[in-house]
Amino acid sequence: MSIANTIMQQLGGFNKVAAMTGAANFIDLGNGVSFKFKGCRKINCLRVVLDADDTYTVDFYKVNMRTFDVKEVKTLSGMYCDQLIPTFESTTGLYLSL
């Protein structure tokens, strides 16, 4: 199982994340995953990367598709797998479960 699949399972699964946030364009980064989502005005892209110490670095971006401008909004490092969902939900205001 790839690291990207493991991260997506820890976030609730591809289908659940897509259904709850309108996520698309999932990209396997080798050591992580990146995807775009809808529903949040300040953030619309997430990248989660596995670090050497078995923690994650989570990057939140605002991507403007008309101008291809990418702005980093927030970066958190040293995150454990059980912190991924609460961090995503508190930062974006979107929920990954009902």
Query: What is the average pLDDT value for the chain, to the nearest integer?
Result: 95
Q: Does some domain include residue 71?
A: yes
Q: Does some domain include residue 41?
A: yes
The tens digit of pLDDT for each residue in 35-76 reads 999 999 999 999 999 999 999 999 999 999 899 899 999 999
Q: Does some domain include residue 12?
A: yes
Rounded alpha-carbon distances, angstroms, from residue 43 to 51, 91, 94: 23, 9, 10
Residue 1, pLDDT score: 61
Residue 98, pLDDT score: 82
Cα–Cα distance for residue pair 26/56, rounded to 1 Å = 17
Is 26 in a helix, a strand, or coil? strand
Residue 65, pLDDT score: 84
- Provide the sign of the torsion angle of the four alpha carbons 78, 49, 3, 25, taken in this order: positive
Average pLDDT over residues 93-97: 93
Q: Does some domain include residue 97?
A: no
Residue 97, pLDDT score: 86
Q: How many domains does the chain have?
A: 1
Whether 42 contacts 71, CB under 8 Å: no
Residue 25, pLDDT score: 93
| pTM of the predicted model as reported, rounded to 2 decimal places | 0.91
Average pLDDT over residues 90-94: 95
Domain of residue 15: give its range: 3-92
In degrees, rounded to 5, the angle at the alpha carbon of residue 35 between the alpha carbons of residues 55 and 45 is: 90
